[in-house]
Structure 1
Amino acid sequence: MIQPNSQEQTRLFTDTKAKTSSKGKKSTARTKRVSKSRIQDFGIQAPSGVAKNFVLDTNVLLHDPGCLNRFKDNHLCIPADVLAELDKFKGEQSERGANARQVHRKLTEMFASGENVTRGVPTDGGGTIRLVIYDPAFCEKNSQELGQFLRIFPDREQVDHRILAATVLLKEHNSAPVVLVTKDLNMQLKARAVNIECEDYLNDKVDPIEVSSYDMRCVEVDPSELQRFASSGELVLEHPRRKEIVLNQYVLLKAGEKQTMPARLDSEGTFVRLQIPEVLRIPDGHHLKPLNLGQKCLIDALLNPEISLVTCYGQAGTGKTLVAVAAGLHEMFNRRYNGLTVSRPVVSMGDQLGFLPGSLDDKMRPWLQPIYDALDLLMQPNSNQGPRRKQQKKENLGDAASKPYDELIERGIIEIEALCYIRGRSIPNRFFILDEAQQLTPQEAKTVVTRMSRGSKLVLVGDPAQIDNPYVDSRSNGLVFTRNRLKGQAFTAHVTLSRGERSPLAEAGAQLM
């Protein structure tokens, strides 16, 4: 038997192994090239590795359609599942539906110049925007971290999980930081559970001190200056002593420990005395007298014809709604406005009222009951009226169940407004009170503000600490946003009420419970 040459056999084996190895390397390289190309086709890899990658959740786009232009030179990632969610809302005749349509138009405009929407197109801020596609069949084969994620959140059909899965892929295939931006607190917790960096949408959040400090600012003056202010009703201070005080801000001029007087900084840079009547007079009804300094400042702002927007913070029982309604009736009966309009968010502005029975007034009554309570209190016949006047009032009312304000509502002098139908309106010469304004989103608040025509006054009252809307908080709701963005304007004023006047029980409950 002839034995093969050992050297030749070794050479043949080596050549065969080399060919096999070479073929394997080529196959692996080709697979890597294909995978990398597919990854880019799915929008998983950023155009550059320098800037951050921000993944936007659906609620951020619905909250602020303008957010697409607020991330400067970073990379914006829009998961395809977000587009599917937006599509569900675009048909709604509500603020949310309008925002969804606006986002669709903006994305169409931004992607119009791009050949491949998953490779990224430039934004005005110097960054890019791209769509990210999560394809389980491909992505799960080309990801090591995705397997662990799916063991924690196995439901692939849930949209939140698909958005998180896309974020996991982005984090795995990009060296630059990947940040999920969402206003959904549960989504934030899920993201942190799988080690995804996430944050709330911060563009419309105000400084915490703006909603935590309820104390009126004090301005130190000399006793002689305070005496001059008491005599003339005006006081001019040099700029360094009134810096950081905005127009129409209410302050306490303080001389020593006990001598104080409230004042307002007017548009000419002068501190002026409050101009308020002793009581707010309601014809044939009860008069309202301010019970504390905060209510006096609020009445001064509400009765000032130069101020067309008043914002007011106050916890339950401080009288913010009652004082606003009393001032509105006072001004209406003095013919400074054509009527009084009152409204309140129905949890969120987009909710429809058609499922409730009755007319619009009947539908809104459960939500506006605090307003009706204030009208009942203020417009009930005064006990000081004579018997003849009371009898005449009773005859005019007719039905014993009628309320003193029913006729005014029928004549349109007092108007009940549903916010979900306010788009497109122009509201002239009305005293417009919006109660519970902290339930609005900034976009909804903007819609209300831009409805006001010449001669109208808008009053936004609420408690930033009481939030029922799941997509706003004490620092990002429409009430604090409006105050923050418009403060310092000559036509705006803000008042904070801190002292409860409803009852000792209500005050103790608000403070201690």
Structure 2
Amino acid sequence: MDRDDSTAQLAPTLVSAQDFGPLFGGRASAPSKNANRLNKAGKWRKMGFKAGVKTFVLDTNVLLHDPAAIQKFAEHQVCIPVDVLSELDRFKNEMTDRGANAREVHRTLMAAFAADGASVTHGTQTDGGGTLRVVVYDPALASRVPSLMEFQRVFPGLDKMDHRILACTLWLRDQVRGPVTLVTKDLNMQIKALAVGIECEDYLHDKVEAREASNVDIPRIEISGHELQRFASSGRITLSAAKMRALTVNDYVLLCSGEKASMPARVGSQGDCVRLHHLPESLRIGAGRTIKPMNLGQACLMDALLDPQISLVTCYGQAGTGKTLVAVAAGLSQVFAHTYQGITISRPIVAMGETLGFLPGSLQEKMRPWLQPVYDALDLLMRPVPNQQHGPTRKKGRAAPPAAPSVGSALTPAAPYDGLIQQGIIEVEALCYIRGRSIPDRFFVLDEAQQLTPLEAKTVITRMSRGSKLVLVGDPAQIDNPYVDSRSNGLVYARQRMRGQAFAAHVSLTKGERSPLAEAGARLM
């Protein structure tokens, strides 16, 4: 993809150039004679490069993804091509998260170099003991490096930013002792790097393990019938360390005795299993519907949502599993019970921070197309259920249906949630305006949280004040944001980083309840 259109594409976790042969000098080729002369003369030391450590060259999209990335490479050397700074300059005036990140990178670099011109190119120490520098590559140096001469014959003029960054990486590889790796989240950039023999990899710091991002059934633990009966009566049971291995506080399990007898449980703070204490038979939403969990996953999710000791709930679930509906229902139920002052519901606008100015109307009207699924859930939950029996059944003929009121007439029924929105009890929040807010005593539901970057997820979490509860729901397999993937998005990152905290719980929903068609579509298509 042209860098004028996007600065990042999803990329595999790790790629290697070792199998691509000696094209353009590759990793398989020996250093050039010029590089050997430089090394023998010790000139590479004058440039400030260390021996025995790795050198990482950062692409622009890595810094836009995580402005603090320069501090995440421990004792190794971090190099930023000067062309990356030029690319960051293009985004610094944007009133988006990308623009904010570009400005943050500039501030971080200025603080690191402390306005010392010499340290910019000769290097300054990072927090992990490594070295940070800006690298200025002169294309005239290509005549000294065979791999660069070949590269510039294929890409004459170096007219694209990608090609200049690749050329800079090739030049560094010739000058530095030890491996040189290009770090980029751009898939096309990685393919080009492989083609010219450059080692490259994705930015791995905020990637979670595949098992942490997978949507799996609640684990089963086999116990004896006597143990299950004792758990049913006391509400608590301590199991062996072998059975509790890999489980952390607030993980949900299914205690089973054979195929028929089972009970759901949650891992307690003492490492034992406790009964789901916060699970009612059903939830009544004001004058609206009464809902109850349809399966084990929904029961566990409802328990976490209703527990006042849990302030962060993450939930994975494919389309139709009821994750958003259950979250909104639990929030409304607790608002009507005066546990919270109100409920705030939001979704990312594909990439959080995109401007809403191109849509007409007020903020709420601008958000309406993006939040229509939330309005659908509110309408379903809060619309009064008509009385099923209105008197004796007519045996002869049928009463004519009432005429539908015209749109905009006085007879047009208002949405059941309109009054609560006007009172501020139900709030529809644009996520791009959440920076700087402090949100106390509210039940906050963030739908489609898999579209967030880890930094955006951190921004949302740090807005929660005392008395608030944050619920992040989404499907890691459905990613529309080009800057994240199933293992580096804000939802899975928040779950992985908060796992094991007494205030956090996670539930995976695997059974669709919307309809057999919806479940089959989510599973098979």
In terms of mean alpha carbon deviation, does 42-51 or 324-333 score higher? 42-51
Q: Is the 8 A contact 1:44 1:170 kept in 2?
A: no
**2:178 maps to what in 1?**
176
1:265 corresponds to which letter in structure 2?
A: V
The equivalent residue for 2:14 is none
Question: Which whole-Å CA distance do the structure 1 matches of 2:314 and 2:170 have between them?
Answer: 43
* Aligned residues of 1:248 and 1:492 also touching (Cα < 8 A): yes
Deviation by residue 1:245-265 (Cα, 9 ceiling, x = unmatched): 111110011223332110011
- How far the C-alpha of 1:45 sits from its partner, in A, is 5.8
The answer to whether the 8 A contact 2:215-2:508 is kept is: no
Structure ID, larger Rg: 1
The structural deviation recorded for 1:482 is: 0.2
1:345 touches 1:436 (CA, 8 Å); kept in 2? yes
Kindly report which structure 2 residues correspond to 1:106-121, keeping only aligned pairs within 5 A, or say none. Answer: 106-112=108-114, 115-121=118-124
Of 315, 331, 335, 2:318 maps to 315
Residue 341 of structure 2 corresponds to: 338
Q: Which amino acid aligns with 1:303?
A: L
Q: How far apart, in 2, do the equivalents of 1:52 and 1:36 lie? A: 18
- Choose from 477, 491, 496 the match for 1:465: 477
- Cα drift, residue 384 of structure 1: 2.3
| Paired position in structure 1 for 2:454 | 442
1:235-314 aligned at under 5 Å gives the runs 235-274=237-276, 275-314=278-317
Gaps of 5+ in 2: 1-33, 391-401
Retained in 2: the 8 A contact 1:311–1:495? yes
**514, 517, 522: which one aligns with 1:502:** 514
Q: Deviations over 1:193-220 (max 9, x none)?
A: 2111100011111111122250211222
Q: Counterparts of 1:111-260 in structure 2 under 5 Å?
A: 111-112=113-114, 115-136=118-139, 138-154=140-156, 156-212=158-214, 214-260=216-262
Look up the match of 2:95. 93
Describe the SS at the equivalent of 1:367: helix
Q: Which moved more, 1:460-469 or 1:68-77?
A: 68-77
Q: Which residue of 2 aligns with 1:13?
A: none
- Measure, in 2, the Cα distance between the counterparts of 1:148 and 1:233: 72
Secondary structure at the counterpart of residue 381 of structure 2: helix
Cα distance change of structure 1 residues 42 and 190 upon mapping to structure 2, 3 Å threshold: farther
Q: Distance in 2 between matches of 1:352 and 1:499?
A: 36
Aligned to 1:377: 380
Distance apart, 1:300 and its partner CA: 0.5
Deviations 1:448-480 (A, max 9, x none): 000000111100000000111111111110000
| Higher deviation after alignment, 111-120 or 420-429 | 111-120
Measure, in 1, the Cα distance between the counterparts of 2:46 and 2:447: 46
Q: 1:66–1:377: structure 2 CA closer, same or farther, 3 Å change rule?
A: same
In structure 1, runs of 5+ residues without a counterpart are: 1-31
Alpha carbons 1:45, 1:174 under 8 Å: kept: no
Higher helix share: 1
Q: Distance in 2 between matches of 1:198 and 1:398?
A: 65
Listed one character per residue, the Cα deviations across residues 374-427 of structure 1 (whole Å, up to 9, x for unaligned) are: 11211222022788xxx9xx9xx9551521111111111110111111000000
Q: 1:402 aligned to 2:414?
A: yes
The match for 1:477 is 489
Which runs of structure 1 show a deviation greater than 4 angstroms over 4 or more consecutive aligned residues? 40-46
Task: Give 1:285 shift.
Answer: 1.3
CA distance in 1 between counterparts of 2:519 and 2:183 reads: 39
Aligned residues: CA RMSD: 2.6
Cα gap change, 1:398 to 1:45, in 2 (>3 Å)? farther
Larger deviation: 354-363 or 143-152? 143-152
Retained in 1: the 8 A contact 2:215–2:509?
no
Is the 8 Å Cα contact of residues 44 and 175 (structure 2) preserved in structure 1?
Answer: no
| CA–CA distance in structure 2, aligned partners of residues 359 and 250 of structure 1 | 42
Distance 2:325 2:45 in 1: 55
Q: How far apart in 2 are the matches of 1:438 and 1:417?
A: 17
Aligned partner letter, 1:423: R
TM-score, reference length from structure 1: 0.87
TM-score (structure 2 length as normaliser): 0.85
SS across alignment from 2:335? helix
Q: Distance in 1 between matches of 2:315 and 2:248?
A: 16
Check the 8 A contact 1:43/1:119 in 2, yes or no: no
Query: Could you report, residue by residue, the CA deviation over 1:491-511 in whole angstroms, capped at 9, with x for unpaired residues?
Result: 100000000111111111111
> Given the alignment, which residue of 340, 350, 354 partners 2:353?
350
Partner Cα distance (1:506, 1:43) in 2: 63
**Which secondary structure state, in structure 2, belongs to the residue aligned with residue 365 of structure 1?**
helix
Please state how far the C-alpha of 1:97 moved relative to its aligned partner. Answer: 2.6
Aligned identity (percent) is 62
Aligned position for 2:26:
none
Determine helix, strand or coil for the equivalent of 2:158.
Answer: coil
Matched-pair contact (CA < 8 Å) for 2:249–2:268: yes
Please give the alpha-carbon distance, in whole angstroms, between the structure 1 residues aligned to 2:152 and 2:380.
Answer: 59
Greater shift in the superposed pair: 438-447 or 102-111: 102-111
CA shift at 1:241, angstroms? 3.7
CA contact (8 A) 1:114 1:121 kept: no
2:396 matched residue in structure 1:
none
SS of the counterpart of 2:283? coil
Question: What's 1:50 paired with?
Answer: 52
Distance 1:161 1:497, change over 3 A: same
Displacement of 1:44 in angstroms is 11
Q: Among residues 403, 426, 432, which one is paired with 1:420 in the alignment?
A: 432
